[in-house]
Structure formats: C-alpha cells, structure tokens
Amino acid sequence: MREVLVVVKSGDVKALELAGQIVSRLDGLGSSGRIVENRTDQEGCTDAFCLASGGPRPQLAVVLGGDGTMISVARKLASECVPLMGINLGRLGFLTQLTGDDWREPLELVVQKGFAVSQLIMLTCEVARNGRQIFHSGAVNDVVVRGSMARLIKVGIVFGGERLGGFRADGMVVATPTGATAYSMSAGGPLVHPDLQVLTITPICPFLCDFRPMVLPTDRPLDMGVEEATADVVLTCDGQATFPLQPGDWVRVRRSPHTLRLVAVGRHSYFNKLLDKGFIRER
C-alpha cells in the first residue's frame, strides 16, 4: 500500500485526532497516508477529484465516521475502484468494518499482506424531462422519489418496458441489498442478503392501492414517472444527493457499472450484524 487516503467526517475533531494516529502508523509501515475531509454534495464535492484534492490515486481509503460518511465516500470513489475500510465513529455502523478501538492490527495486516474485497452492487439514476437528461447520480443505498409536506403523489412504474401501473403514495424507495436495512426497511421493505444481485421497490405509505414491496432483477431498467403531484416532489440518492422533480419527469434506475468495494476485515457475518444491530430480535 503506497498511497492511503484517510477520509474524515467534516468538522469531526475526534475523527481528525484518530486520523493523525492512523497516518503516523502508516508512515511506520512504509506507506503514505493523506488526510482529507469529506465535504457534502451540497458543498459541491461530488467526485473523486474533489474528495482526494487532486492528489495521487489511492490504493485504499480508510473512512472515519458512520454509515453516512461511508456512503458519501463510496459514491465519490466508485469510478476509481478504490476499496474502503471503515472505522465506525457513528451510531449504527452497519457498513463500517471496525471500531475506533480495534483498527491497529487489521490495518497492519491490510498494508503488509494485502486484502480481499467484497463487491456489492450500486445503482445509477437519471432524470429525463421532455426527452432530455437533466440529472444523474450514483447510489449505494437507495433512490427515492417522494412528495414534500406529507402530500400524496402518483408514481408510474415501468420495469423493463412493461408498465406495472400508477400508484398513489408518499413516495417510492428503490434500494440495493445494502440499502435494504435503511429507508427501505423503515417503509416496510424486506431484508435482502448482500450477495444477491437484485433491487427492491417499496412504496412509502401507499394510499388505497395494493402495491406490495417487490424484489426485482437488475438486468432491466426500472422507470418511475411523476404522474400527479399536489406539492413539491424531490429525488434523493442515499438521502444525500437531491434533485427537484416536476410532473412529467421520469427517473430511470439501473444497476451501476461500479460496485461498492469493501475491504474484507472484521469478524462479523451479515447475519451477526443483523443480530448485533437489532434488525433481528429473538423474543
């Protein structure tokens, strides 16, 4: 590992202190560590060049923060195929592999002996208005179309060119298996094993319709059209990248050519994480 990017949550003093310790250890192992702050999409930082401040391409990114920071960094570094190793300084820490107390030995093993990588699917979405693309973004967890002020909207659903219908709800969540434990689950969607190459679509508070959460293959595009709206409608990607929608807009969601690349460290299986984080409870 010649170049290691150490990414900290913007303005997090605890993360900056830990980043200094990590860079010092990397130097002792013969690697070059560089600390950068992860600025948000709203601050104009949306790609790898911005995140890495134009420096050399890293071979590894060590991310200090919670799941939100991991997701933000993953979207920005996806096109560079940089693997991520997360150290949890947040609350849930479902995506992060380590904690602030157990990073030393795993980091040394990764730097000195290499590592395996788990690759998880990501999504890409495009907004078309009057036949012209006006927005695009990647997503690690989910792509959501929803109304504001708890107002119903009518969303048309087309999968692989076949119309499923128009449904009234507060919104629709399209999620990866990684995102199944986030907004999708809160809206009543299923838990999905991360090894599966599928996406889910789940309505948010559906009104007088029988649209159930669905698990779909990723070999065809999923289109969501804003057919009716009595208030503002917004598209969100991972709850971080946002774009205002208008009636008549179509959002096309596909499987991304890029993947979420996680360094295979830590001791917890997927099911152990579900148990540890309270997604499954034995009564």
Which residues are part of the catalytic machinery? 67
CB 12 within 8 A of CB 89: yes
Residue with tokens 């560089």: 34
Kindly give the residue spans of alpha helices, DSSP state H, lying in 87-142: 104-113
* Structure tokens, 154: 């009518």
SS3 201: strand
Q: How far apart are CA 87 and CA 84, in angstroms?
A: 10
Counting Cβ atoms within 10 Å, is residue 260 exposed (0-12), middle (13-18) or buried (19+)? Answer: buried
Indicate if the alpha-carbon torsion angle 176, 180, 183, 185 is positive or negative.
positive
SS3 202: strand
